[in-house]
Chains A and B, each alone.
Chain A
């Protein structure tokens, strides 16, 4: 068993981080599914969530779990506001080249938020208090309790999100918009308002992921770049816009990276997920779950 423990440790670590990136990828999918845009500022909502949680737990001295809730609320409302301010021209026929507009506006927002964070919070790294201290000794492997709790909260948030999407009126309406925006509007769904809510939901999932990983990976202005790229890999791998794809994609990335690290070399850890992405796109160009149906 002792021979297996290094492999087990790698796998568990990969799955813990994978589940939190999964949360972020799901947020990206929700935004893509409903608004049909790729949010290039997703990593910055992750960063803002981490800062919100940091200030609540470190500066105000509240429990880190309270920091996560504040981060979720703050990034949700910020997301809603940003969608209303910057993305509504897309649906009011004010812009001619909608895809380019969405791409440039979210990319510009990303640059703005990074530079704003540099100016407001400074370039120095901060560390939010761990969700819980100590380690969990399972005999064969020892795990950091903070990381395990972060992964459990991430899974709980994923399940809540799936419940909202599949079992509530809001979810049904969002799915309807994702299938046909115009028809759902004719049916009486306020697509404009729900578009803002969808962006807010997506942003708050990135914010939650940032709040969960802030204590693990430090808080600083450019912290969102790598998780955002991982999320892009996950959603493309699982099929753009597929919720199932985002969840399975994140687990697959976590597994593949861990196995690659164990059997090949830890030096090329990030290469493995890109390699699997290339292979899947070669053989299944539409991704693992093919097609861009949001509720697939």
Chain B
């Protein structure tokens, strides 16, 4: 009986470790005037992955960017004469951890609104807590359609959604004239959601494809890459992965001579293509890689964009990706909504968010909210040099802002 107990304990601990609860970092950061009583400050919540299995790089970027926005707003006098204070919680990108982080923000910290998250699986669980307690929640960087499709009145998003992403990807595939498409995707809501949408659209357009969904903890993608190219010659591989996986796919496809090559291009779907780690982790393999982002300095957005990019870089020593820009926008939106509502009551903030027409970092004012979703643009870029800065990459698509044509590798 004792052995059974030990085994059960061991098994539970192993499961906990697998679920990524291994590192339980919880951080709170706020303005210097943290009073605690709530009279002088307006508490807003931030949430995102600071530990695996989520992407800590992404979570840290969201946190730093939200803090930058809070600091900027506080410097200009705050909101309703009060300072904003940010409480940021680690979701580890997992549904269970995300829900408990939301509970903590709402019950313990008593925030008036929440923003953040970069993983759809976690966001989908978190919105349920926000809905139950009727707290406005703006999702910063999770793309699953279901987040806003559920029609919860207090749930918003500033990032693109999967439908828009997959539609743009297929538009690019058609634009570039690719005839055979291979898809390698992770088994997250974002990955699986996109594969389903891509498959449907490619079928509608009669473009042959082959797809594989893999466990997001996979490290060796050689079997999958060999299988994708078995009896099939793809013109492009769509790498629908995030975190370590997306880099390893690029690295291993290059080692096998599969892509990016003269015969096969590769498109990276996640935000990770714009992180400096891409060169550290893939070396020359990322040269000729095509990637997408809702932001690129060569394509001008709004007047607020460049000052924010500069401030972020000065403060953090690295350039922000679009995830940081979206996170910054969430705080701008919340501050604007609280100001217009003239109150910190969640229901009034939600109503004000519905009517928001604000000049953000990644979206112009006149667009307004579209079905609880501010949809930014989506651009397709290509790295043409090793160690190239994302800012120097060429824009391939859409045509009206493109700076170059696709550069084909020699071999």
Interface residues of A (CB under 8 A from B): 6, 9-10, 13-14, 17, 38, 40, 99-100, 103, 107, 110-111, 114-115, 118, 123-127, 135, 142, 144, 216-218, 220-223, 225-226, 229, 232, 257-258, 261-262, 265-267, 269-270
Taking a contact as CB atoms under 8 Å apart, the answer to whether B280 and A125 are in contact is yes
Taking a contact as CB atoms under 8 Å apart, the answer to whether A229 and B281 are in contact is no
Main secondary structure of the interface of A (DSSP, over half): helix
Mark interface residues in B262-286 (1 if CB within 8 Å of A CB, else 0): 0000000000000101001111000
Taking a contact as CB atoms under 8 Å apart, the answer to whether A6 and B226 are in contact is yes
A124 and chain B: residue at smallest CB distance? B277
Whether a CB of chain A sits under 8 angstroms from the CB of B31 is: no
Minimum CB–CB distance from A217 to chain B (whole Å) comes to 4
Query: Would you give 8 A-B contacts (Cβ < 8 Å), ordered by A?
Result: A40-B14, A103-B13, A111-B24, A123-B60, A142-B256, A229-B18, A262-B227, A269-B215
Given pairs A222-B20, A223-B219, 7 additional interface contacts (CB within 8 A) = A103-B10, A115-B25, A125-B280, A126-B280, A142-B257, A218-B244, A262-B223
Interface residues of B (CB under 8 A from A): 2, 6, 9-10, 13-14, 17-18, 20, 22-25, 50-53, 56-57, 60, 212-215, 217-220, 222-224, 226-227, 230, 244, 247-248, 251, 255-257, 275, 277, 280-283
Minimum CB–CB distance from A241 to chain B (whole Å) comes to 15
Residues of chain B with a CB closer than 8 A to A40's CB: 10, 13-14, 17
Residues of chain B with a CB closer than 8 A to A13's CB: 220, 222-223, 226
Taking a contact as CB atoms under 8 Å apart, the answer to whether A115 and B23 are in contact is yes
Taking a contact as CB atoms under 8 Å apart, the answer to whether B223 and A220 are in contact is no
Q: A123-B57, A125-B281 are in contact. Are A114 and B23 (CB under 8 A)?
A: yes
Minimum CB–CB distance from B18 to chain A (whole Å) comes to 7
Q: A13-B220, A123-B56 are in contact. Are A118 and B226 (CB under 8 A)?
A: no
A123 and chain B: residue at smallest CB distance? B56
Minimum CB–CB distance from A18 to chain B (whole Å) comes to 11
Q: 10 shortest A-B CB distances, which residue pairs?
A: A123-B56, A222-B52, A261-B223, A217-B219, A266-B224, A127-B281, A266-B227, A13-B222, A266-B223, A144-B255
Inter-chain CA distance A258–B222, complex, in Å, is: 10
Minimum CB–CB distance from A292 to chain B (whole Å) comes to 13
Minimum CB–CB distance from B216 to chain A (whole Å) comes to 11
Residues of chain B with a CB closer than 8 A to A267's CB: 212-214, 224
Main secondary structure of the interface of B (DSSP, over half): helix
Minimum CB–CB distance from B236 to chain A (whole Å) comes to 19
Taking a contact as CB atoms under 8 Å apart, the answer to whether B281 and A218 are in contact is yes
Inter-chain CA distance A65–B307, complex, in Å, is: 46
Inter-chain CA distance A142–B226, complex, in Å, is: 11
A271 and chain B: residue at smallest CB distance? B215
Residues of chain A with a CB closer than 8 A to B18's CB: 225, 229
Taking a contact as CB atoms under 8 Å apart, the answer to whether A225 and B224 are in contact is no
A146 and chain B: residue at smallest CB distance? B255
Taking a contact as CB atoms under 8 Å apart, the answer to whether A218 and B23 are in contact is no
Residues of chain A with a CB closer than 8 A to B20's CB: 222
Taking a contact as CB atoms under 8 Å apart, the answer to whether A217 and B23 are in contact is no
Residues of chain B with a CB closer than 8 A to A144's CB: 255-256
Inter-chain CA distance A125–B275, complex, in Å, is: 11
Inter-chain CA distance A261–B225, complex, in Å, is: 11
Taking a contact as CB atoms under 8 Å apart, the answer to whether A126 and B281 are in contact is yes
Inter-chain CA distance A102–B369, complex, in Å, is: 56
Inter-chain CA distance A40–B256, complex, in Å, is: 34
Q: A226-B219, A261-B227 are in contact. Are A220 and B13 (CB under 8 A)?
A: no
Minimum CB–CB distance from B308 to chain A (whole Å) comes to 22
Taking a contact as CB atoms under 8 Å apart, the answer to whether B283 and A127 are in contact is yes
Inter-chain CA distance A265–B211, complex, in Å, is: 11
Inter-chain CA distance A269–B213, complex, in Å, is: 11
Q: Which of A13, A38, A125, A142 has most chain B Cβ within 10 Å? A: A125
Q: A111-B22, A142-B256 are in contact. Are A125 and B277 (CB under 8 A)?
A: yes
Taking a contact as CB atoms under 8 Å apart, the answer to whether B23 and A118 are in contact is yes
B279 and chain A: residue at smallest CB distance? A127
Q: A225-B17, A226-B219 are in contact. Are A220 and B283 (CB under 8 A)?
A: no
Taking a contact as CB atoms under 8 Å apart, the answer to whether B244 and A99 are in contact is no
Residues of chain A with a CB closer than 8 A to B224's CB: 261, 266-267, 269
Inter-chain CA distance A223–B247, complex, in Å, is: 14
Q: A103-B6, A125-B244 are in contact. Are A10 and B52 (CB under 8 A)?
A: no
Inter-chain CA distance A221–B277, complex, in Å, is: 15
Inter-chain CA distance A107–B222, complex, in Å, is: 31
Taking a contact as CB atoms under 8 Å apart, the answer to whether B57 and A124 are in contact is yes
B211 and chain A: residue at smallest CB distance? A267
Inter-chain CA distance A111–B218, complex, in Å, is: 21
Taking a contact as CB atoms under 8 Å apart, the answer to whether B214 and A17 are in contact is no
Taking a contact as CB atoms under 8 Å apart, the answer to whether A225 and B280 are in contact is no
Taking a contact as CB atoms under 8 Å apart, the answer to whether A217 and B248 are in contact is yes
Inter-chain CA distance A10–B6, complex, in Å, is: 38
A118 contact from B51, B212, B248, Cβ within 8 A: B51
A270 and chain B: residue at smallest CB distance? B215
